[in-house]
Amino acid sequence: MKYKRYCKTLKLEDNSELIKKYKKAHGIGQIWPEISKGMKEVGIIDMEIYIHGNTLFMIMDTVPGFEHEKAMKILATKPRQSEWEAHMSQFQKTSANASADEKWQLMERIFELDQEKNYNAIEGQAKEFGIA
């Protein structure tokens, strides 16, 4: 299966209680269904978020033809998306009015084992998953 991968980062407030609440809000069954549905509708096929201290790291896998800027604009208009972003902003070092795309910053890949091509962060990294 071919797909594109985007990696992003975001800082949370450096407050252990807020970080606990943020982690709980992202626990199993806690994400509002409209949020997951909207992501899938714009072409996000998988997403993972990792945490270290107050730094978040996101891996976002998308359909091969995914256009990041276009998809993020469409996602911002999906049901409850702006409400979710405002709710999450209490935990993040950001504005309550910021969209997900304004909060989460794309990261540049600088290394990949057996790397054959460089990608700009906005392009995503072309990937292929195959089972041998």
State pLDDT tens for residues 73-100: 999 999 999 999 999 999 999 877 888 8
**pLDDT for residue 131 is more than 80:** no
Instruction: Give yes or no for residue 132 having a pLDDT over 60.
Output: no
Q: Per residue in 3-55, pLDDT tens?
A: 999 999 999 999 999 999 999 999 999 999 999 999 999 999 999 999 999 99
Region 97-126: mean pLDDT is 85
In the chain, domain spans = 2-128
d(CA 70, CA 124): 13
List of residues 6+ apart from 45 with CB closer than 8 A: 3, 61, 62, 63
Between residues 113 and 8, which one has the greater pLDDT?
8
Q: Compute the radius of gyration of the chain from its Cα atoms.
A: 15
Global pTM exceeds 0.75: yes
Q: How far is CA 46 from CA 17, 20, 59, 75, 94, in A?
A: 28, 23, 8, 15, 24
Residue type at position 12: L
Query: What CATH class has 2-128?
Result: alpha beta
Q: Does residue 130 or residue 120 have the better pLDDT?
A: 120
